[in-house]
Structure 1
């Protein structure tokens, strides 16, 4: 399932629900639909930046989250651990578009909505 985040201050950001779920959990927001108000945006940026920093400090935890979001992925016979590591998309990379949207919303005093 896809979640599309919308704000007047930036382009839409669309993410798979399983990737957006961790971000929304950090922000204590509903996965189905919700709003991050302009008043909440600064705190949301700080929380998300903190979670990104933690994921970079502990890449093994980041990889654990990634493996749970794709339980159906079975490695190819010739796939090596090095290739898997190289192809891993971490939390920081997945969160970046929404973090940029949050910063723009904070600076423009706009809300972000999804699921409406």
Structure 2
């Protein structure tokens, strides 16, 4: 399932629900629908930037999380390591479009909404 984030100050950002959940958990926001107001945007940016920094400091944890998010079957150990190397898209890359939207919303005084 997809979640689409919307703001009048930037193009829509659409991502898979399982990837959006981690971002929304960091922000303590509902997975189904919600709003990040222009006043909240600066704090949301700070929280996401901290999580991005942590994910870069501990890439093995980030890769582990990515493997669990994408697994449709249980790969063996060698297959899991190979998948992590080939297909790993980290938290930083997944969060980047929403971070850009939040920055534009903050600067433009607009809200970011989803599930509406």
Q: Is the 8 A contact 2:67 2:84 kept in 1?
A: no
Runs of 4+ in 1 over 3 A off after TM superposition: 78-84
Q: TM-score, normalised on structure 1?
A: 0.90
Q: Deviations over 1:53-111 (max 9, x none)?
A: 00000001101111221220566xx9694564142111100110001001110111110
Aligned length: 115
Q: Which residue of the partner structure matches residue 54 of structure 2?
A: 54
Mark the runs of 5 or more structure 2 residues left unpaired by the alignment: none
Q: Which residue of the partner structure matches residue 2 of structure 1?
A: 2
Mark the runs of 5 or more structure 1 residues left unpaired by the alignment: none
Q: Which residue of the partner structure matches residue 67 of structure 1?
A: 67
Q: 1:34 to 1:23 in 2, by over 3 A?
A: same
- What CA RMSD, in Å, does the superposition of the two structures yield over aligned residues? 1.9
